[in-house]
Structure 1
C-alpha cells in the first residue's frame, strides 16, 4: 500500500480549515450568528480537520490512508448538510422544526435568554448571487472533496 500523496493530504487539511475560518469571520467579523444546521456543518469540518491532521502526522501508511479517507468523508458530510440547509433556506423542503438557536449576551442569564434573538435555519443570514453560505459550503465542500479524492486516486 502506497501513502496518500502529500498534496491530497494537505488539501484535506486546508479545505476544512478554510471553511471554518470563513465561518468564524462571518460570525465574529460580520455578526452572522450560526443556526443549528450551521453548527452541524462546522462539526463535520472540525472532525475532517482533526482527521486530516492525524493523517498528516501518522507514519503508518494503512492508518494514514484510513484517516485521510475519513477526513474526505467529513468534508462530504459537511457539504451534504450544507445542501440540505440551503434547500431549507430556499424553501425547497421543510427543515427540522426545532432548528433554531439564540445569541446570548453578557449579564443576567435569564434576561439574556429572554431577550436573545432566535437564529432561524430557514432564513439565509447572507447570500451572494442568490447563494447562501450553506449553499457555498455545499458547492465548495463537494467539489473540493471530489478533487481531493481524484488527486489521491491518481497519485496511486
Structure 2
C-alpha cells in the first residue's frame, strides 16, 4: 500500500470517528461528557495532519497524525477507567466531584448546561463503551500512521 493510501485511511478513520461522535450526539441525542469532547480534538488534529500530508511531503505530518491518534487513544482508555470506576476522573464530570459541589455551583451549572457524567456508560457494544472502542480504533489508526511514516 502506498504512503498516500495509508494517510488517507488513517485520516479518514479519524474523520469517521468524529462523524460517528457527532452522530451519537445530534442524531442519537447523547450529549458528550467532558472526556468525550477531549477525545475529539486529537482526531481533528489527525484529519488536518492528513490533509497537510498530501500537500507537503514531509514526515512531520504523518508523525503529528500518529501522535493525535495515540493521544485520543490514551484519553479513550483513561475514560474507560473512569467509567469502570478503576480511578477517578475530573471532578467536574464524575459523581464524586458532583457530590462535593455546593448548591450555588449546582445552580450555576444547571443554568449553563446539563451535567453529563464521565463515569456513566451511555452506550456499549459487546460490553465495551464508546470510550473503549475509541481507544482501540485510535490505536489501530496510530499503527497505520506509523506505517505511513515509514513508507
TM > 0.5: yes
Change beyond 3 A, Cα 1:151–1:53: closer
**Deviation of residue 148 (structure 1)?**
3.2
**Deviation of residue 28 (structure 1)?**
0.8
Alignment partners' CA distance in 1, 2:46 and 2:15:
9
Higher RCO structure, 1 or 2 (CA under 8 Å, sep 6+): 2
Structure 2: 5+ residue stretches without partners: 95-106
2:43 paired residue number: 45
Which one of the candidate residues 21, 25, 28 is aligned to 1:27? Answer: 25
Structure 1: 5+ residue stretches without partners: 101-109
Instruction: Give the TM-score, by structure 2 length.
Output: 0.82
Instruction: Give the TM-score, by structure 1 length.
Output: 0.80
| Residue 72 of structure 2 corresponds to residue 74 of structure 1 | no
Q: Deviations over 1:93-141 (max 9, x none)?
A: 11111236xxxxxxxxx99943843100010111111111000000110
Give the count of matched residue pairs.
138
For 1:73, what is the secondary structure of its paired residue? helix
Which one of the candidate residues 133, 138, 146 is aligned to 1:136? Answer: 133
Structure whose residues are more often helix by fraction: 2
2:124 paired residue number: 127
